[in-house]
Structures are given as C-alpha cells and as structure tokens.
Amino acid sequence: MLQETFEHEYIAVEGVIGAGKTSFARMLAERIDAELVAEEVFENPFLVDFYKSPKRFALSCQLFFLISRFQQQQQLTTRDLFSKRVVADYIFAKDAIFAQVNLSERETALYNRIAPVLAGDIPRPDLVIYLQASTATLMDRIRKRNISFEKTIDHEYIEMLNQAYDYYFFDYSETPLLVVKTDLIDFVKNPEHFDDLIEQISRPVAGKKYYAPAGDLVGR
C-alpha cells in the first residue's frame, strides 16, 4: 500500500498559473489520505480588480495573499504537523516571486519589510514538487479552464512569471525538490500519467531531481 511506504509527511506543490498545481495537490492528498492546504485564491477580494488594473491593485492583492498564506501556515505550526500527512498547493516563498513581478519599486520595499517578519516560523516541507511547463502550454490550459477574471491574462505576463519561477527554482536548495516537466502529460484526465507521478514522488528525493515524462501526447 502506498500509504504504508510513502515517506513524505509534508509535500508542497508549486507551478505557474495553469500548471495544474491545485488539481494535482488535491488528487495527491486524496490518494495518500493527506490534509489539503489550498490557497485562498477566490477569497481574495482584490484579485478580479488586479487583473483589470494590475498597477493599482497589485499591492492590495499581494498583501491579502501574504497574510492569508501566513495564517494558513501558522495553523500548521499550532498543531501536531505530523498527526496527518499534509499536501499544500503552494510554498510560502512563492509569494515573493509574485511580488517581484507585480509590485513597483516602492511597493516592493514595503513588502520586503513585512514578508521576512512573517516568514520566520513557517514550517518547511519534506518535499517540493515544481510542475513546470512552457508558456504556450500554460496559456492553452488557462484558456481551456475558462475562468472569467483570467481571460485578461496575456502571454507576456505568464512568460514573466514562468521565467521568475524557473530562476527561483534553479537555485532552490531549501528542501528536496522534484521538477516535473508537464507539457506532454495530462494527469487529470489520464490515470496512467497520475500514477507515474505518484511513483516518482514515492521514491526518495535528495537535493534536486528533474523528471520529464514522455506521456502519450506527442503529435497531437
């Protein structure tokens, strides 16, 4: 049984918008009988306004996410973290990636005075999974999921985020890291793709590991 041999107690899944991190985190949590910690995306009252007017609402949107993520992570520290496995669809440090891309210089200076104070006691995952994809793939997935406020997201913005994520994880050494190239797989619709990723995650990961599954989408 996977539940009996799975070593990781706290797994965090990351990826740019459209990478499928929330879907994968939900599926993984169900598979290994873990508690799911999901970002409060739709609860952010500034998010729709941000996509309409990024410069005006970037700081408000960012601070809401920062505080929300901090409160969620604090809940993990106030109970026995290992009483049940935990799967999160983000790492706390990702907040700074979005801040770097979206905030002005003055806003970034303010953000950088707040975020480090909150980050001090954040629990560290046993494993981080970075779902990587090309910007073209991410844009295609964003269009297909057809969320109303995401319709204004353009290629340039996703490309900036993609580059920022790749840059961050290129030098990442905080925890064991599994980087999965997802362009050729669909783990939501194809159980074999999901099972293959579960098999990779169940193996010990020391340092950084890259995995590029072949999938069965070549030529489509």
Whether 80 sits among the annotated catalytic residues: the reply is no
* CB-facing half-sphere around the CA of 196: CA atoms within 13 A: 18
Q: In this structure, are residues 50 and 61 in contact, taking their beta carbons and an 8 Å threshold?
A: yes
The distance of Cα 25 from the centroid of its chain, to the nearest Å, equals 9
- C-alpha 161/C-alpha 155 separation (Å) is 10
Which stretches of the chain are assigned E, i.e. beta strand?
Answer: 10-14, 35-37, 86-88, 127-132, 177-181, 208-211
Place of tokens 């580059």: 163
Residues 6 or more apart whose CB falls under 8 angstroms from that of 140 comprise 18
> One of 33, 49, 80, 89 is an active-site residue; which one?
89
Q: Which residues are catalytic?
A: 89
